[in-house]
Amino acid sequence: MSTPRELFRHTLATLAYRAAKVLRDAPEDFASSTAGGGNRTPSQVLAHMGDLLDWALSKAQGAERWANVPPGPWGADITRFFAALEKFDTYLASGAPVACSHEELFQGPVADALTHVGQLAMLRRLAGCPMKGENYASAEIIAGRVGVQQTAPSREF
């Protein structure tokens, strides 16, 4: 990776890979689980992740805006998240100018979304539907591959 934009796009592909893993095969009732507390449900977390990526694209385009979109059906919110990720990556891949620094995009919306992937993984464990750990360093992550369809894990444990 020779440019900050290429590294950033790889980061988005990493977000997609990790999100796809935590969302794959999650039971429908997981979306509304609370882990026994008053925290956000997985459905609320996922909707927020879509909001973050919409915000990131608006910042990159120089027309920053924020919207709190209420959670919808679990499957629709998964689709919304990956669609927002794809729109953001497509914009970056186009070579269009980015109105703010890649560092600002990373430290704000993208790092927040990565944190929420970890939160969803923990909530899955607490809800009794854990996923296997994985050596992510050996995962096949490719810039531009930002959809829900990802390569199967190469080394789970």
Number of domains in the chain: 1
pLDDT level of residue 35 (50, 70, 90 thresholds): confident
Let me know if residue 147 belongs to a domain: no
Which residues constitute the domain of residue 76?
4-138
What's the CATH code of the domain at 92? 1.20.120.450
The span from the CA of 46 to the CA of 84, in Å, is 12
pLDDT level of residue 77 (50, 70, 90 thresholds): very high
pLDDT level of residue 122 (50, 70, 90 thresholds): very high
Let me know if residue 152 belongs to a domain: no
Let me know if residue 110 belongs to a domain: yes
CA distances from 73 to 5, 7, 105 (A): 33, 33, 28
- Note the pTM of the prediction, 2 decimals: 0.96
